[in-house]
Amino acid sequence: MIVWAFPGQGVQRKGMGAGLFERYPRHCAEADEILGYGLRELCLQNEDGRLRDTRYAQPAMFAVGMLTYLAARDDGAAPPDYLAGHSLGELCALCAAGCFDFADGLRLVRRRGELMSAVGGGMLAVVGLTAGELAEALAAEGCADVDLANHNAVRQAVLSGPLSSLNQLGAALRGRPGVRCVPLNVSAPFHSRAMAGAAREFGSFLQAFSFADPVVPVVANVTARPYGPGEVAELLSRQIAQPVAWYDTLRYLRSRGVDELREIGPGRVLAGLWQQALDEPAPAPEPEPEPELDLTPRPAREPASVSARTPAQQLGSAEFRRDYRVRYAYLSGSMYQGIASVAMVLRMAGAGLLGFFGTGGVPPAEVERVLAELRGALGAGGQYGMNLLADPDEPQADQHTVAQYLAAGVRYAEAAGYLAVTPALVRFRFSGCARDTDGRPRAVRHLVAKVSRPEVAAAFLAPPPEAMLGRLVADGALTAAEAETARHLPVAGDLCVESDSGGHTDGGVAFALMPVMTRLRDEAMARHRFAERIRVGASGGLGSPEAVAAAFVLGADFVVTGSVNQCSVEAGTSPEVKELLAGLDVPDTTYAPAGDMFELGARVQVVRKGTLFPARANKLFQLYRQYGSWEEIDEPTRRSVEQTVFRRSFEEVWKETREHYLDTGRPGSVERAERDPRHKLASVFRWYFAYSGRLALSGAAGERANFQVHCGPAMGAFNHVVRGTPMEDWRARHVDEIAETLMSGAAGVLGRLTRPADPSDPSDPCPARPAATKEIRR
């Protein structure tokens, strides 16, 4: 196991961060705007020695620490199992763990530096004495105004206090054999009683911020234990005036099985202290405390808010949360034609969550623009995902898309609609993969494969086919080393079981599919002896806290939502569609043919309330199955289709379709249609599906009867959840708040199953009989 550790103030130096400022220009521009001066110039030039001034040193150290972290992450370093930071470095660790973003981190350290610099004094590192021997020396020299600030190792500590007292003590200690005293490059007595006022003021300042709980455990300076739920503000405030228990932190990490420390930032001070800790006998393993559950009752129809002790962060797989860098084992899935929009992805990232942009039906040039926007906002390898959608007409189309993703540094992809593993999927998953320092195979990219059929799942749960790897190496798409590593990894490290859902669906039932898929996963793990466990997630029908809770009870490691996010402020569809969705009930969806798989008879689930699209689409499919050409259809039926569905002639539709094929580089489709009347019939009928989708996305006036809106019953379920609350209006629904409602609510549902339900209590959303509750717990 590995810990990433961030150093604190005192190791700053001129030239730190060289090469990082050019790599992350957006972050540097953001820092310049917030701080009011040039970050790059401060770090590289250090005019007037400002890096010794706490007001400048703390923002500079924070920024360089975070840019170093981004570089390590983007370069594919093995992700940390724990995070820690020494003093100021703890704010870097919390930022890396998703507790706040880069901009808020800068605001915090700027104010922290201002408050701490207002106190006069300094710090002195003492090497060669134990903490007990230092206490005796302080008493002997009469330095009652000096405090132990940092306990870094058995025989290394840092003292804080007035400069006169530190100078007196240093002079006395330097005469002792084996003792070294080194004044630190700081301008105040940090972590001492002199900082009590600064700590109080900083605590008041923190009240203006909202903090998420860490998605990766962060070991606190004050307690030498991981931050618990809701503890960020309290411990950050206390840390300013209390000692840094770094020695105890290292001992705790070793007791948890951590055997490697990676220092993230300038200098090698923490790496040296870690090496000293390794030279000591290993501490006994320390058991983890049992998680606390929030059992506070809530009204049945009130969306659950995030409690200070919510266990929502503990639902699902901790490894999934670590690898996806999210607070919850929860993703917002892609929706075609950018309905899962840039705004949605950015909103999720800002909340410490991850969403997938919906690339289905989006032209390559627009995908390129989206990638540039996301990379500019979130950085290379940032917290966002992209969709890969199988195209039965152009099965090689995903090769170009994957090339775009790799060039942009995309780390997370969702594969949907695939009936088999393709070379492009294998290339995405295993580009950059390698063995770590322990020889374990590691992939730096994560693929979520959405499946509803066991035979398809089995292909994703296995290593890539040998012949496919050979072709990819021969074509230069993978290196021989990457292919060798890929032989020991599954094609998808995350399998998402897609039950009956909006869009493409096999109408599967989660209660039947989830146990089958988890067994397949277990069999694959045993057969291939993978080093890391494959995660199995759930999607489809997740529109209420109870449904999400049921998914986790069925063994889901994570959940993926779709339909409910379409009715949010951030969704890339029209206000008219959102208004329609906000009024749905559970039965208000039905099935229609899938336009992109029309000839195969594949189905999508769509809204039926307030639109005639399902009836018209099904009629077109019936005609396709019954007739071999347009001319074979009887005249009254042809006239009805042209007047009520197309509202133009068959030939006009074909002309538009033909031009589209030619404009998108598909002349073969034109040649086939002109040679095969039945294929021409299918091509024209498919035009209506594209047309009805465009009408919905634009909210075309007077065209609601033709709106094609992919949606499952989860939408109606969520409308019931938020009825009577501000979120009943879609304008108050934000995609991250939908996630909070579902995940925190699910945690509450599961927590209540630990006690007998009260059928007479209207605030209990799970009024099961005591016998039933006992059965669940058994």
Distance CA 162, CA 138 (A): 13
Catalytic positions are: 87, 191
At 651-661, the pLDDT tens digits run 999 999 999 98
Strands 122-127 and 180-183: antiparallel
pLDDT for position 329:
94
Length of the chain: 778
At 301-359, the pLDDT tens digits run 333 333 333 378 889 998 898 889 888 999 999 998 889 999 999 999 888 899 999 99
Task: State the pLDDT confidence band at 503, using cuts at 50, 70 and 90.
Answer: low
DSSP 292: P
| Best-predicted range by mean pLDDT (48-52, 302-306, 674-678) | 674-678
- 340-373 b/e (C-beta count within 10 Å ≥ 16 → b): bbbbbbbbbbebbbbbbbbbbbbeeeebeebbee
| Ramachandran assignment for 121, one of left (phi > 0), alpha (psi -120 to 50 degrees), beta (any other) | left
Q: Work out the number of other CB atoms within 10 angstroms of the CB of residue 584.
A: 24
Name the CA dihedral angle for 152, 155, 161, 167, rounded to a multiple of 10 degrees. Answer: -140
Task: Decide: 479 and 544 in contact? Cβ < 8 Å.
Answer: no
**pTM reported for the whole predicted model:** 0.65
At 193-248, the pLDDT tens digits run 888 899 999 999 999 898 988 988 999 998 999 998 889 999 999 999 888 989 99
Distance CA 764, CA 96 (A): 37
What are the angstrom distances between the C-alpha of 524 and each of 444, 445, 513?
Answer: 21, 20, 16
Among 138-142, 195-199, 475-479, the minimum mean pLDDT is found in: 138-142
Give yes or no for residue 20 having a pLDDT over 50. Answer: yes
What are the angstrom distances between the C-alpha of 220 and each of 156, 639, 719?
Answer: 19, 74, 41
At 568-600, the pLDDT tens digits run 999 999 999 999 999 999 999 999 998 888 888
Task: Decide: 337 and 697 in contact? Cβ < 8 Å.
Answer: yes
Give yes or no for residue 532 having a pLDDT over 70. Answer: yes
Give yes or no for residue 270 having a pLDDT over 50. Answer: yes
Please state, rounded to an integer, the average pLDDT across all residues of the chain.
88
Distance CA 719, CA 178 (A): 71
**Amino acid in the structure at residue 193:** R
| % of the chain surpassing 90 pLDDT | 65
Task: Decide: 262 and 77 in contact? Cβ < 8 Å.
Answer: yes
The helix (H) or strand (E) run that includes residue 5 is strand 2-6
Task: State the pLDDT confidence band at 776, using cuts at 50, 70 and 90.
Answer: very low
